[in-house]
Amino acid sequence: MSYTQLPLHHHQIPASPLVLGCMRFGGEWDGLPITSDLVVEGHRAVEAALEIGINHFDLADIYTRGKAEYVLGQVLSENPGLREQIIIQSKCGIRLVGDDEGPQRYDTSAAHILASVDGILHRLGIDYLDILLLHRPDPLSHPQEIGDVLAKLHQSGKVRHFGVSNMGSEQIRLLQKHSRVPLIVNQLEMSLDKIGFVEAGVTVNRVQAKDNVFPYGTMEYCQAEHIQLQAWGPLAQGRFTGRVVEGQRPEIELTAELVNRMAKERGVTPESIVLAWLMKHPAGIQPVIGSIRPERILACRDAVETELTRYEWYELYSASCGRRM
């Protein structure tokens, strides 16, 4: 497949085209201890990912309240040498529960970022993170303070690269202006169901643009600045790959029919078609597969080699948005 080279490769990071999202590692979002079954489940997910060439793993300090990182850390401790073969990315900046200082909130203060990174490294049992993302835009963030703390983390060797999640181009531009280290990743919700990233461009100067919440210009800015766009939720919660869609809006049912038809014609899984649609975009989008089930991960095996024609890409897009171009 002649897909666009990942922007991460521009930064000398040999990342795979697909990422395994580890949000479901560790079981439920509760305070219960990690069981041996949860660690075995993590092993199986990592093995499935490695089997199909995935070397990039995505976490966040809040995933299953820290248990996701503990589970991956246990997998690493039981597989000597694996750490240096993979890319580990985590996020910080969300306080899940209220405390003496206030309610659940976003927090990108220097103190919270530093404490979060130390916690992430401790739970994973590693010395450094390959990539740290700021999880959500904090309206009380101070760009200079963030820039200084990112530089401190880089100089200490605790974090090698940095990025953001769920941010628009102007938010990134402001942070980058005050940061001595480059921001090289932006993770956003993008899929064949969440098509705002396409709509933001094609509906310019059209009435449809008024209903789109995807930040206009973000795709173009990230491409121009060699910022890796990552898609969370790329499989659209299974809406096009086997989940029952009866009773949902007609666009979902029609798109699911098209996905399955194209998959049968090629002899690949529906998951491969859905991911291939995202990956055909010239920005070099990296889908983050958020599953812990080996069979679901393995179903994405052929995505990188599945090449959709322009006709097929637009056919799927038109079905999803419910109108002709």
Q: How far is CA 107 from the centre of its chain?
A: 20
Q: Average pLDDT over the chain, rounded to whole? A: 93
Assess if residue 191 is contained within a domain. yes
Q: Which domain holds residue 290?
A: 7-242+280-305
Residue 311 lies in a domain: no
Vertex 54, ends 315 and 231: CA angle to 5°?
45
Tell me, yes or no, whether 261 lies in a domain.
no
Q: Is residue 50 part of a domain?
A: yes
For the chain, what percent of residues have pLDDT higher than 90?
86
Confidence of residue 169 (pLDDT cuts 50, 70, 90): very high
CATH code where residue 201 lies: 3.20.20.100
In a domain, 253, yes or no: no
4, pLDDT greater than 70: no
Residue 1 — pLDDT band, cuts 50, 70, 90? very low
Going 30 to 33 to 34 to 36, the CA torsion angle's sign is negative
**The two three-digit tokens of residue 21, written as one number:** 């999202």
Domain count across the chain? 1
For the question of residue 63 being annotated catalytic, the response is yes
206 found inside a domain? yes
Strand ranges, E, within the chain:
19-21, 56-58, 87-92, 94-95, 105-106, 129-134, 159-165, 183-189, 228-232, 286-289
Active-site choice (63, 70, 216, 317): 63
Name the token pair of 273: 């078609």
Query: How many angstroms separate the CA atoms of 325 and 322, rounded?
Result: 10
- Non-local (6+) Cβ contacts of 33 within 8 A are none
DSSP states of 27-79: SSSSSPPPPHHHHHHHHHHHHHHHHTT--EEE--TTGGGGHHHHHHHHHHHTS
Q: How confident is the model at residue 213 (pLDDT cuts 50, 70, 90)?
A: confident
In a domain, 325, yes or no: no
Q: Is 106 left (phi over 0), alpha (psi -120 to 50) or beta?
A: beta
Q: Would residue 2 count as lying in a domain?
A: no
Q: Work out the pLDDT band at 318, boundaries 50, 70, 90.
A: very high
Mean pLDDT of 121-131: 98
